[in-house]
């Protein structure tokens, strides 16, 4: 990529004896006579069947009928079959086994807070009762094995209950982002042939009520297969209820018996279809199974963020992003406490996140780099007002870090002693490809290593391994969390991941490994900018811009240029107290030129109020580029703030 690219610098955190000795990783390695992380990585990727079997046993994943073979690759690496002949419903492991254990049933399974200040706790025994009642409610509507049910709800305890209840009856979960418009919801419901939809009257954001039921009504009207809407009364706003189709949660669910049978499912039966937005065409439905997604989620949560039964983990997410199901499945498989919050993380004040961490004694806090970039300009005082002594780990995913906000989170919030477990993978991965962990050192913005069992590599354009330079992120062996393909679109799955090099998963990210073995993710490879023959990653430019005190967020794109092939256009969101000006724009252009070289001086700096982002805080650079060039931006249904596209007018002098 850019010849001037530099890696993350010096190691800033080294694991203490306490972190190492307490860790799941240390215990797992001791159980198998493994002396180092490098040895674990080599063995886990060379013998995938051994590693997967060892993880299933370590996590105490219980099967009603044991598997006869860990993995069958007879259809090729692209189509592995896992836990062959095994029968298992994941709810047996997430809920039922804990509720039946006298030592576990009274332990908190889920803690919730709403933006308005309401709180609620469910023990594992209470969670089992609620899941059973919800499962009985679904069955009373004639729903059962193989039926797809959508989740279009705010982040309340009921959304976790519904997620698990759908799995309990052998149904197929369809997580849907609560900010979708009716068209996006309808497209996904129709594609999956959904028979029912969980929704709510509305929810609270920044003190206002956001209606949800009208959007659900409009979507359901377009999908003949949807016969039932189950509606949670959350915000208390008036909504229309269609007799025969619509059912209030409190009337349908709470009156049901407290006991329910868990469906007898095959380990590889469909559990969930999670839709991800493509650059073009309809969204891709990543298919996941009972023994796939939840197991990979729990593995990463255990080995990466080191969550134990006494811990409480919160990840800022919506259920429509994979991190929502990841949080619920991972925490409950480990017997830990899952915390969820329904509201804006900086409302009514910028310290809301730190207040949540203090009040609920959160031990693990998952954030996005974008959120931290927004909080940094408000200074250190909002953090210092709160006791964060319970927090042991930060974690992050969604976007590449810039070093300055990473260091602020580490030094100011983490007091230089709490690790930031950087995490990158995807919906089709069921979690991470690369990740930090509690037994390896950390550099700013870096990943310590590939996750155990992930045969990750960085390759050049010919598919050859490279180190110390930027290349394509690939995976060379299967893993249990692999998507089982795209729903009703086998060829698109092959074209997307397996068509570049035979038998190699090409993930679509630029990555690099430095001299200390630290890994870096530098953005999507289709976001790459080529200027005067030099390949440039957006994150490199954006790091330079956000290091300026006036800039809180930035996005860089390449636009056609007759002389250079492409020219750089940068979009900047200013920090509080700064105003757009030609002088500031020129200062920022020169800053980039000084840092990265004069040929990479931006053609234009554009000041905007926000950047188009998905709910998981990924900046959608393809949308920015299309809007600037006056082209069709493609699928924008996953954007949390589609209105900002209007600020990005077709650029002059294109």
The answer on 311 and 192 residing in a single domain is no
**135-175 residue pLDDT tens:** 999 999 999 999 999 999 999 999 999 999 999 999 999 99
CATH of the domain at 418: 3.40.50.12780
Q: How far is CA 233 from CA 158, 174, 244, 320, 340, in A?
A: 10, 21, 18, 20, 18
- Phi first, then psi: give them for residue 80, nearest 5 degrees: -70, 150
% of residues, the chain, pLDDT over 90: 80
The answer on 39 and 142 residing in a single domain is no
**374 SS3 class:** helix
CATH of the domain at 225: 3.40.50.980
Q: What is the pLDDT of residue 402?
A: 83
Q: What is the pLDDT of residue 593?
A: 86
The answer on 358 and 437 residing in a single domain is yes
* For the ranges 84-88, 372-376, 611-615, the one whose mean pLDDT is highest: 84-88
Q: How many domains does the chain have?
A: 3
The answer on 508 and 543 residing in a single domain is no
Q: Which of 315, 397, 321 is nearest to 353 (CA)?
A: 315
Give the integer Cα–Cα distance in Å for 470 and 477: 21
Domain boundary among 504, 523, 542: 523
Q: What is the reported pTM?
A: 0.87
* Contact status, residue 612 vs residue 591, Cβ threshold 8 Å: no
Does residue 257 lie in a domain region? Answer: no
The answer on 451 and 306 residing in a single domain is yes
Q: Is residue 32 exposed (0-12), middle (13-18) or buried (19+ Cβ within 10 Å)? A: middle
Q: Is the pLDDT of residue 535 over 90?
A: no
Does residue 29 lie in a domain region? Answer: yes
Give the integer Cα–Cα distance in Å for 654 and 332: 52
Does residue 345 lie in a domain region? Answer: yes
The answer on 359 and 466 residing in a single domain is yes
**406-465 residue pLDDT tens:** 999 999 999 999 999 999 999 999 999 999 999 999 999 999 999 999 999 999 999 999
Residue-range definition of the domain harbouring residue 592: 529-647
Does residue 102 lie in a domain region? Answer: no
Does residue 98 lie in a domain region? Answer: no
The answer on 281 and 164 residing in a single domain is no
The answer on 488 and 415 residing in a single domain is yes
Residue bearing tokens 């849907």: 176
The answer on 60 and 30 residing in a single domain is yes
Q: How confident is the model at residue 526 (pLDDT cuts 50, 70, 90)?
A: low
The answer on 359 and 462 residing in a single domain is yes
Q: Is the pLDDT of residue 466 over 70?
A: yes
Q: Is the pLDDT of residue 279 over 60?
A: no
- C-alpha angle 145-150-291 in degrees, rounded to nearest 5: 50
Does residue 300 lie in a domain region? Answer: yes
Give the integer Cα–Cα distance in Å for 338 and 109: 6
Q: What is the pLDDT of residue 56?
A: 98
Domain boundary among 225, 252, 279: 252
Does residue 580 lie in a domain region? Answer: yes
The answer on 563 and 422 residing in a single domain is no
The answer on 430 and 354 residing in a single domain is yes
Domain boundary among 496, 523, 550: 523
Q: What is the pLDDT of residue 280?
A: 46
Does residue 160 lie in a domain region? Answer: yes
**204-263 residue pLDDT tens:** 999 999 999 999 999 999 999 999 999 999 999 999 999 999 999 999 999 999 999 999
Q: What is the pLDDT of residue 227?
A: 98
**What 8-state DSSP symbol labels residue 392?**
-
Could you tell me how many helices (H) and strands (E) the chain has, helices first? 21, 29
CATH of the domain at 627: 3.30.300.30
């Amino acid at each position: 990529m850019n010849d001037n690219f530099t890696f993350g610098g010096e190691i800033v955190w080294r694991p203490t004896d306490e972190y190492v000795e307490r860790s799941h990783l240390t215990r797992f390695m001791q159980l198998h006579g493994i002396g180092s992380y490098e040895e674990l990585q080599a063995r886990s990727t060379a013998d995938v069947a051994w590693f997967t079997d060892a993880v299933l046993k370590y996590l105490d994943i219980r099967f009603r009928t044991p598997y006869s073979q860990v993995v069958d690759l007879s259809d090729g690496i692209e189509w592995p079959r896992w836990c062959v002949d095994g029968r298992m419903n994941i709810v047996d492991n997430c809920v039922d086994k804990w509720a039946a254990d006298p030592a576990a049933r009274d332990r908190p399974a889920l803690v919730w807070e709403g933006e308005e200040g309401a709180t609620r706790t469910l023990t594992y025994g209470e969670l089992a009762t609620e899941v059973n009642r919800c499962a009985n409610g679904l069955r009373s509507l004639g729903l059962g094995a193989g039926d797809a049910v959508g989740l279009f709800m705010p982040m309340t305890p009921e959304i976790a209950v519904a997620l698990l209840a759908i799995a309990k009856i052998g149904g197929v979960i369809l997580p849907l982002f609560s900010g979708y418009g009716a068209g996006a919801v309808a497209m996904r419901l129709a594609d999956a042939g959904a028979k029912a939809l969980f929704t709510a009257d509305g929810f609270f954001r920044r003190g206002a009520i956001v209606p949800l039921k009208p959007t659900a009504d409009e979507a359901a009207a377009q999908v003949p297969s949807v016969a039932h809407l189950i509606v949670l009364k959350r915000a208390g706003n008036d909504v229309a209820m269609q007799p025969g189709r619509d059912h209030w949660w409190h009337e349908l669910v709470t009156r049901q018996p407290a006991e329910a049978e868990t469906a007898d499912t095959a380990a590889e039966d469909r559990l969930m279809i999670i839709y991800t937005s493509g650059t073009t065409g309809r969204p891709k439905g990543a298919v996941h199974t009972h023994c796939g997604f939840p197991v990979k989620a729990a593995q990463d949560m255990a080995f990466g963020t080191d969550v134990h039964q006494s811990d409480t983990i919160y990840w800022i997410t919506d259920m429509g992003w994979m991190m929502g199901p990841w949080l619920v499945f991972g925490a409950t498989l480990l017997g830990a406490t899952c915390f969820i919050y329904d509201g804006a993380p900086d409302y009514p004040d910028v310290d809301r996140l730190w207040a949540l961490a203090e009040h609920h004694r959160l031990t693990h806090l998952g954030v996005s780099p974008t959120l931290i970039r927004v909080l940094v300009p408000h200074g250190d005082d909002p953090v210092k007002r709160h006791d964060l002594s319970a927090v042991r780990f930060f974690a992050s995913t969604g976007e590449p870090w810039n070093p300055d906000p990473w260091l602020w989170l580490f030094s100011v919030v983490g007091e230089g002693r709490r690790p930031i477990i950087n995490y990158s993978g995807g919906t089709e991965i069921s979690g991470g490809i690369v990740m930090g962990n509690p037994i390896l050192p950390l550099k700013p913005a870096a990943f310590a290593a590939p996750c155990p069992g992930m045969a990750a590599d960085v390759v050049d354009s010919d598919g050859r391994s490279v180190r110390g330079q930027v290349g394509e992120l690939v995976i060379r062996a299967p893993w249990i969390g692999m998507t089982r393909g795209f729903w009703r679109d086998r060829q698109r799955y092959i074209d997307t991941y397996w068509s570049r090099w035979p038998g190699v998963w090409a993930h679509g990210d630029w990555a690099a490994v430095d001299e200390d073995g630290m890994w870096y993710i530098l953005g999507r490879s289709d976001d790459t900018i080529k200027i005067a023959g030099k390949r440039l990653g957006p994150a490199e430019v954006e790091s330079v811009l956000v290091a300026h005190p006036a800039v809180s967020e930035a996005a860089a794109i390449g636009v056609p240029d007759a002389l250079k092939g492409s020219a750089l256009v940068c979009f900047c969101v200013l920090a509080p107290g700064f105003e757009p000006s030609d002088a500031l724009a020129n200062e920022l252009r020169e800053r980039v030129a000084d840092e990265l070289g004069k040929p990479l001086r931006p053609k234009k700096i554009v000041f905007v109020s926000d950047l188009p982002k998905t709910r998981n805080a990924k900046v959608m650079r393809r949308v920015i580029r299309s809007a600037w060039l006056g082209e069709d931006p493609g699928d924008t249904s996953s954007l949390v703030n589609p209105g900002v596209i209007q600020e990005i007018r077709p650029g002059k002098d294109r």
